[in-house]
A = this chain, B = another copy of it.
Amino acid sequence: MATLRDIAQATGATVSTVSYALAGKGTLAQETRARIIACAHELGYRPNLIARSLVTERTSTIGLIVTDIANPFYGEVAQAVERVAYRAGYRVFFVNTDRDERLGRELLEDLTARRVDGIIAMPGGLSAETILSATSLGLPIVWCMWEEEEHHLSPAVGVDLVMGGRLVADHLMAFGHRRVAIVMHRTESTGLTRGHCLRLQGYSDGLAHAGYPLDASLIRFGDSTIASGRTAALELLDLSSPPTAIFATNDLMAIGVLAALRERGLQAPHHMSVVGFDDIVTAAQLGPPLTTVHIDKATFMTAATTLLLRAIAGEAVTSPALLPTRLVVRESTAPPGTPPNNHRQGKEDEGAL
């Protein structure tokens, strides 16, 4: 690959002149610049960003830490981040922790060694302490959806998960459900996640407001996968007195719940109402289309990325207000005892991608 020196030799100029010419900096004669640029083209010159980074101490890369890139939720997240980053000339390293603390730590240290300019950290795999200790002091980090109390982690950008949970409770209560089960996230390694606790809290608040208690015996756990949602639902269906509705704290688990119903020959919302959380792309297309809490991933991650880029640029940034959520009512919920096959038109959201 041609280097600056090659061009310098070919044009009879010096390396620094070539550098200036190609960077569009400095004060060069039109003619010289043109000649050099032409030569660079001819030689198929491609700057070596590695070398540049070594001297500028900037890599124009950021890291995005997620738990599971195969989850469509993170696919949407990744897309938004990538778009914004790209426009600013940044590339992004997607780091998949697979919810494995050790692996995640290793990957993070590697990112540090690769000198990323900043990080967007989403919770799930790694504790904040781990992230902080694995990265270098002063590295800009935007905490995305951590929803920590206090302003411990900053800058943080979050969505109002409590509000989301609350909306679910209001909806279900309005339909007259009194026996509602919860399938929430919990793993052996990480335990309960704050984000999911907040969803539950909002839900619980809603119940309390309507004058009903939260029935702890109807809470089950999963690891945010379809499989785990299914298992949990199967367990709930085997109860002597099963619930009339299930609220899963993410869409993937809600999908699992629907799968479990189908296996048992049951239908939502006739035999059981089902609510999810996240509103992933396919939620509107399920059988039946899923009632779920919508998180505007694009808006959200765009904000996060913009914030990070500003922090990298040296601006003093502060955490913006929580983004609101909204309930998208589709066909997986109805009052208990609603007859089957009351086919409503699924206009809402269809084909939106």
Which residue numbers of A lie inside 8 Å of B, CB to CB? 1, 44, 46-51, 53-54, 59, 68-72, 74-76, 78-79, 82-83, 86, 91-94, 96, 103, 107, 109-115, 136, 225-227, 229-231, 252, 255-256, 258-260, 262-263, 265, 281-282, 284-289, 341, 343, 345-347, 350-353
Contact = CB atoms under 8 A, between A and B. Distances in A.
Contacts of A345: 262-263, 265
Number of copies: 2
Contacts of A74: 75
- Chain B CB count within 10 A is highest, among A46, A103, A260, A263, for A46
Given A69-B75, A286-B287, A114 B265 contact: no
Contacts of A115: 48-50
A91 B91 contact: no
Given A51-B54, A226-B281, A285-B259, A113 B46 contact: yes
19 contacts: A48-B115, A49-B115, A50-B59, A68-B79, A69-B75, A72-B75, A75-B75, A82-B94, A86-B96, A91-B111, A226-B351, A226-B353, A230-B351, A231-B351, A252-B353, A258-B285, A259-B284, A259-B285, A259-B351
- Chain B CB count within 10 A is highest, among A47, A70, A252, for A70
Given A113-B48, A351-B227, A351-B259, A70 B79 contact: yes
